[in-house]
Amino acid sequence: MRFLGFLLKRVVGIAAVMIGVSVITFAISHVIPADPVAAALGDHATDAQIAQFRTEYHLDRPLPEQYLIYATGILHGDLGKSIRTRRSVADDLADSFPATLELSFAALLISIVLGVPAGVWSAVSRGRVPDYVVRLLSLAGGSLPVFWLGLIVIGLFYYQLGWFPGGGRLDTFVPPPPTRTGLYVVDSILAGDFEALRSSLVHLVLPAVTLGYFSTAVVARMTRSSMLDVLSQDYMRTARAKGLAERLVIFRHGLRNALIPTVTIIGLTFGSLLSGAVLTETIFSWPGLGRYATASAVSLDFPAVLGVTLLAAIVYPVANLAVDIAYYWLDPRIQHG
Amino acid sequence: MSFGRTSVLLFIALLIAAACTPAAAPGASTQPSPSAGGAASTLVWYADTSDLISFDPAVAYEFTGVLLAHNAYETLVKFEGADLSTIKPALAQSWDIKDSGSQWDVTFKLRSGAKFASGNAITADDVVYSFQRVLKLNKSPAFLFTDIAQLKDSSIKATDPSTVVISLPKTASPQGFLAVLTFTIGSVVDSKDVKARETGGDSGSGYLLDHSSGSGAFVIDHWTKNSEVQLKANPQYGGSPKPALGGVLVKHVPESTNQQFALEKGDADIARNLGAQQIAALQGKPGVVTTTGNSLQLVYVGMNVTVKPLDNVNVREALRTAIDYDGIVKDLFKGGAKKVQDIVPAGLAGYNESTPFQADVNKAKSLLQQAGQTAVTLELLVPTGPAPGGVAWADLAAKLQSDWKNIGVTVNIKQTTQAELLGTYRAQKGQLVMILWGPDFPDPDANVGPFTDYAAKSIAFRNGWDDKTIAAKGRDAALITDTAKRSAAYKDITDYVLHNGPYAVLYQPTEPFGLRSNVKGFAWSPMDWTDFAAISK
């Protein structure tokens, strides 16, 4: 019951965050000193077209009324109509979000699969060559701009070596699998389309590595730090004194306890992966939310910007919720405390 | 109660699964078919297509939408290739302009045997439906019909299945109207097909947003949003040339370096958005050639005459005189731009070749002295990103700042997004504004009107320039039907604006393209499109 109560509180909290975010974003997007009409209709629009546009998007109403119209729409699942694409924002998000989610999951997977072992290895080899190598690579991961890294990766592995494709989600002449989730890897498995599966996997590699390098570095450093802390604990000495194999001592007693802060970082990293995807998506022609958000912001498409912001406002707390739930599994004190 | 690990894990899995499942079915607008004939018979076109909103010819007014609609639909008349001087037959095999006293009557005879991709015959009713649909929808390009041609529903009539008569008021230019009809807004849609797909009184615009229903050389096969558009050759196409390839795949690749790499690797046949850096890098590369296409755009600085001292014609002339145009064209753009100083671009009738200004510091200083100005400080509004021709707007602004500093004019550069800049410019609140202009239809009136007529609330208005004499001359020139007389009238107007108007036209950009060397028949029209049908490989 305690878990359900905790869950309920978090869901209510997420709803409150959503309301706050929608009010703030709406206010900001409507008070910036720029005219979305000029952005949408361009340089040649007539006065009549401008008036029609303002009516269509309720821009001729007072700001509080505009917000009420917008909020009522949200309650009915209507995020409004994009000024730039002239489509429903919900449809636009449904088109672009799965691509970003797939890329972010792949980057997160890389961060965990590479970052956690690298951190452990670095900690147990403290002061020796593996430690220096991991720390150096982590430092680079935290310092290299994604845009630069992306261009280098694409230049080397696509242009020079030809090992991986240069961009997009599939090979030029491979049709996408029938849409079930929007995640091509999942959809191609569901459809039994192994050509699309192969193609979508190889297309994920370079953007996921580029996007995931920074978070891999963060995860590795956090794991190293917490492992060093754990390794000096009494219970580790006790475990060794009991005659347990070093592998069991490190992974069962050490890593399990060191993972709590790492999981926290992974949750936070997931949110930053979604926002960091903007540049990666541009470089790799990845049709995701980041590119949609950028194009919307540049063209003052405030319904789209609001939609993206609300989506991000859900993703962050949901990722944190997932982290909190993971604590239950990792730390019995939280379950019983 | 304590949760077991399994239940918690199961919950996380469910949470992730829920997050992965979008509310609406995303992805392709239609289920894509495998490529039309495979790689060998498909042209792969790499471009930044982020402006794509709709293929509907009554709605499309962005570069990519217009390019694709042009290839999926036919118009009554057309320009061929890059030649914008002669109007040629398309769906109309002939036309006639008759002065009926109180109005112009333009009669079009349709080509016999013409069919839509659906197999339906093309009739005069389709033309009437298509044009009236533009008026009803009243989207971005509709002003070409309502304001330029001054069309009304009742102006468009089918007198028999193959004859359409369109009446224009005497205040509209029949030549200008024919030029408007070459644009995608003049596309003829399959009225039977579109009517059957109307929902909620939308005139089929929901369907035509991501499908085609025309008689052009290609049909839209599918549009996977933010990724690609596939065109397939239309076997019913009755125009010429017939498509040499089975299909065209337009891939959305926003990063120009990626476009360059893909071209070199042979993954792309044509790359559309290469900057000066990429074009330079492609020189001498095996299997790749570069070419340029003409554009009708002009990049200019508008000078708001409601702001002192820009109200003084000598100050404006001084600013124009101080600019190093040759340096801009040769050093900054390295051949990606043409030196043009007149308000009508090269390629259109009425183009004035005169280029009297070139960094004459002494003359500019003298003009400032005549205006009683010694130290002038102004703000220059500049868009973000690259200017047409591939050089950053900011670099171009820095060049102007440097040129004007030579004559004692201090310019503070303020860079904003183009949308924000346009808002300021439209409200007549800019001082110096650097921006581009492209004509809406290939006729000198499309530039002379906006640049000279304050009442049109376009460029002259934004710069506060209300010269009623030149505006009236511009309106009169638009109505002249004799080509030689019309050209002479535009020469007078452009000569006057060159020295008296509130503009410093900086250059006319060219469009660079990278092609695989086996690609043949590519020609870029200054209308910002190409005929895919003419391209082979």
Q: Give the whole-angstrom CA distance, residue B338 versus residue B407.
A: 25
The residue in chain B having the minimum alpha-carbon distance to the alpha carbon of residue A102 is B20
Burial of A55 (0-12, 13-18, 19+ CB in 10 A): exposed
Cβ-based contacts of A315 with chain B (< 8 Å): 19
B97 and B481 Cβ atoms separated by less than 8 Å: yes
B452 and B493 Cβ atoms separated by less than 8 Å: yes
Number of neighbouring beta carbons within 10 Å of residue B360:
18
A206 and A163 Cβ atoms separated by less than 8 Å: no
Q: Give the whole-angstrom CA distance, residue B515 versus residue B534.
A: 15
**Confidence band, pLDDT 50/70/90 cuts, at residue A145:** confident
pLDDT of residue B334: 81
Question: Residue A301, by phi and psi: left (phi above 0), alpha (psi -120 to 50) or beta?
Answer: beta
Beta strands across the sheet bearing B103-110: B92-99, B103-110, B163-169, B156-160
Query: What are the pLDDT digits (tens) for A103-138?
Result: 999 999 999 999 988 988 898 888 888 889 988 888
A95/B226 CB distance under 8 A: yes
Which residue in B84, B50, B56 sits closest to B69, CA to CA?
B56
Q: Who contacts B142 (Cβ-Cβ below 8 Å, separation ≥6)?
A: A49, B58, B134, B135, B185
Looking at the partner chain, which of B209, B262, B417 has a beta carbon nearest the beta carbon of A298?
B417
Please give the structure tokens belonging to residue B33: 């078919």
A36/B419 CB distance under 8 A: yes
A318/B423 CB distance under 8 A: no
Please give the structure tokens belonging to residue A7: 């869950």
Q: How many angstroms away from the CA of A175 is the closest CA of chain B?
A: 6
Looking at the partner chain, which of B15, B227, B417 has a beta carbon nearest the beta carbon of A169?
B227
B479 and B310 Cβ atoms separated by less than 8 Å: no
A158/B265 CB distance under 8 A: yes
pLDDT of residue B20: 42
Q: Who contacts A52 (Cβ-Cβ below 8 Å, separation ≥6)?
A: B138
To test the contact with chain B by mutation, choose from A11, A37, A44, A82 the residue with the greatest count of B C-beta atoms within 10 A, namely A44
A163 and A143 Cβ atoms separated by less than 8 Å: no
Q: Give the whole-angstrom CA distance, residue A13 versus residue B467.
A: 62
Cβ-based contacts of A298 with chain B (< 8 Å): 417, 419
pLDDT of residue B378: 96
**Confidence band, pLDDT 50/70/90 cuts, at residue A39:** low
Q: Give the whole-angstrom CA distance, residue B310 versus residue B367.
A: 13
Number of neighbouring beta carbons within 10 Å of residue B356:
11
pLDDT at A1 over 60: no
B396 and B276 Cβ atoms separated by less than 8 Å: no
B479 and B173 Cβ atoms separated by less than 8 Å: yes
pLDDT of residue A33: 63
Report which residue type is found at A126.
Answer: R
What b/e string do you get for B376-389 counting C-beta neighbours within 10 Å, with b at 16 or more? bebebbbbeebbbb
In whole angstroms, how large is the CA radius of gyration of chain A?
24
Please give the structure tokens belonging to residue B192: 């039977």
Q: Kindly give the confidence (pLDDT) of every residue in chain B, 537 residues in length, as a single tens digit, with 9 standing for 90 and above.
A: 343 444 444 444 444 444 444 433 333 344 455 444 567 799 999 999 888 889 999 999 888 999 999 999 999 999 887 778 778 999 999 999 998 888 999 999 999 999 999 999 999 999 999 999 999 998 888 888 988 889 999 999 999 999 999 999 998 888 889 999 999 999 999 999 999 999 988 999 999 999 999 999 999 999 988 889 999 999 999 988 899 999 999 999 888 888 999 999 999 999 998 887 788 899 999 999 999 888 899 999 999 999 999 999 999 999 999 999 999 999 898 878 999 999 999 888 888 889 999 999 999 999 999 999 988 999 999 998 888 887 889 999 999 999 999 999 999 999 987 777 887 898 899 999 999 998 888 889 989 999 999 998 889 999 999 999 999 999 999 888 787 888 899 999 999 999 999 999 999 998 889 999 999 999 998 888 999 999 999
What b/e string do you get for A16-53 counting C-beta neighbours within 10 Å, with b at 16 or more? eebeebbeebbeebeeeebbbbbbbbebbbbeebbeeb
Query: What are the pLDDT digits (tens) for A226-257?
Result: 888 888 888 878 888 887 787 878 887 788 77
Averaged pLDDT of chain A: 83
Sign of CA dihedral B400, B403, B409, B411: positive
Q: How many angstroms away from the CA of A271 is the closest CA of chain B?
A: 13
Q: What is the SS3 assignment for B352-405?
A: CCCCCCCCCHHHHHHHHHHCCCCCEEEEEEEECCECCCCCEHHHHHHHHHHHHH
pLDDT at A263 over 70: yes
Where do the H-state alpha helices sit in chain A? 2-31, 36-41, 47-56, 63-75, 89-124, 129-143, 146-154, 184-191, 194-231, 234-241, 246-248, 256-283, 289-298, 302-330, 332-336
Q: How many angstroms away from the CA of A210 is the closest CA of chain B?
A: 15
Q: Give the whole-angstrom CA distance, residue B276 versus residue A49.
A: 37
B270 and B522 Cβ atoms separated by less than 8 Å: yes
Q: B473 by DSSP, 3-state: which?
A: helix
Q: How many angstroms away from the CA of B368 is the closest CA of chain A?
A: 32
Judged by CB atoms within 8 Å, which residues 367-426 of B form the interface with A?
A: 416-420, 422-423, 426
Q: Which residue has the tokens 């475990």?
A: A239
Q: How many angstroms away from the CA of A36 is the closest CA of chain B?
A: 7
Q: Give the whole-angstrom CA distance, residue B398 versus residue B332.
A: 11
Q: Give the whole-angstrom CA distance, residue B135 versus residue B60.
A: 14
Looking at the partner chain, which of A77, A173, A179 has a beta carbon nearest the beta carbon of B25?
A179
Q: Give the whole-angstrom CA distance, residue B267 versus residue B509.
A: 28
pLDDT at A211 over 50: yes
Judged by CB atoms within 8 Å, which residues 452-481 of B form the interface with A?
A: 457-458
Element (H, E) at B175: helix B174-181
Please give the structure tokens belonging to residue B83: 């030649």
Number of neighbouring beta carbons within 10 Å of residue A322:
18
Which residue in B216, B130, B191 sits closest to B166, CA to CA?
B130
Q: How many angstroms away from the CA of A52 is the closest CA of chain B?
A: 9
pLDDT of residue B101: 86
Q: Give the whole-angstrom CA distance, residue B253 versus residue B268.
A: 10
CB contacts < 8 Å between A and B, how many?
A: 193
Please give the structure tokens belonging to residue B387: 């200017």
The residue in chain B having the minimum alpha-carbon distance to the alpha carbon of residue A87 is B53
Query: What are the pLDDT digits (tens) for A71-105?
Result: 888 888 888 888 888 788 998 898 889 999 999 99
Q: Give the whole-angstrom CA distance, residue B156 versus residue B171.
A: 17
Please give the structure tokens belonging to residue B292: 């340029």
The residue in chain B having the minimum alpha-carbon distance to the alpha carbon of residue A97 is B22
